[in-house]
Amino acid sequence: MKKLGIVTVTVLMFLGQSCNTNKGEKQENLNAEDNELNAIFPKGEKGSDEYFTGNAYPVGLVEADSIHTTLAGNVYFEPGARSNWHSHPSGQILIITDGVGYHQIEGQEIEVIKKGDVVKCPPNVRHWHGASPDVGLQQLYFIPNTEKGIVEWMEPVTDEDYNKTK
Ligand code: MN
């Protein structure tokens, strides 16, 4: 009985270890493949913690000038990353080129956004946008009429507000 007990415990420990290891490796590979988004534009530098929660990578693509008063760029949000609450004095257009994310105008439900979606946000409306918890987001942004201003940053989106989709 004693011998059997030791053997059983040893086998269980071995199975337990090998199961955990395999699961861990598989999980890692799966996530890496699932979360690999198509990057059309350069990734850029990590955005400031002052404006973003988590890892977001904004990169400017079109600078506004006196003829073209529109600003355009790309933001790659890693899973779970999002902007702070903010507003744009002349509104904003988003075009989602890959992944899954959220867009929320204050007082409205969180809207799920994904590859191929186009989102218009009216001027001077508090809102935020970012990735879903499990899949990142590639979004192009367009800010027209930059002579009126570009963005006014506000407080971070709390985990409680971010998780309200579930
Ligand atoms: Mn915005």
Cβ 96 vs Cβ 132: under 8 Å: no
Distance of CA 125 to the CA centre of its chain: 20
**pLDDT for res 16:** 39
In the reported structure, the alpha carbon of residue 30 is separated from the centroid of ligand 1 by a whole-number distance in angstroms of: 31
In the reported structure, the alpha carbon of residue 67 is separated from the centroid of ligand 1 by a whole-number distance in angstroms of: 23
In the reported structure, the alpha carbon of residue 69 is separated from the centroid of ligand 1 by a whole-number distance in angstroms of: 17
In the reported structure, the alpha carbon of residue 166 is separated from the centroid of ligand 1 by a whole-number distance in angstroms of: 22
In the reported structure, the alpha carbon of residue 8 is separated from the centroid of ligand 1 by a whole-number distance in angstroms of: 59
Give the separation between CA 46 and CA 48, rounded to whole angstroms: 7
DSSP string of 81-103, one letter each residue: -EEPSEE-TT-EEEEEEEEEEEE
Cβ 88 vs Cβ 70: under 8 Å: no
87: closest CA among 126, 51, 143, 139?
126
71: closest CA among 152, 139, 124, 147?
147
DSSP class of residue 147 equals: G
**pLDDT for res 36:** 72
Beta bridge partner(s), residue 143: 71
142: closest CA among 75, 45, 67, 51?
75
In the reported structure, the alpha carbon of residue 50 is separated from the centroid of ligand 1 by a whole-number distance in angstroms of: 15
**pLDDT for res 115:** 97
| Strand, helix or coil for residue 13 | helix
Helix ranges (DSSP H) in the chain: 2-34, 159-162
In the reported structure, the alpha carbon of residue 118 is separated from the centroid of ligand 1 by a whole-number distance in angstroms of: 13
**pLDDT for res 166:** 56
In the reported structure, the alpha carbon of residue 18 is separated from the centroid of ligand 1 by a whole-number distance in angstroms of: 47
Q: Which pLDDT tens digits describe the chain residue by residue (166 residues)?
A: 445 454 444 444 444 333 333 433 434 434 444 457 999 999 989 999 999 999 999 999 999 999 999 999 999 999 999 999 999 999 999 999 999 999 999 999 999 999 999 999 999 999 999 999 999 999 999 999 999 999 999 999 999 999 998 5
In the reported structure, the alpha carbon of residue 152 is separated from the centroid of ligand 1 by a whole-number distance in angstroms of: 9
In the reported structure, the alpha carbon of residue 129 is separated from the centroid of ligand 1 by a whole-number distance in angstroms of: 7
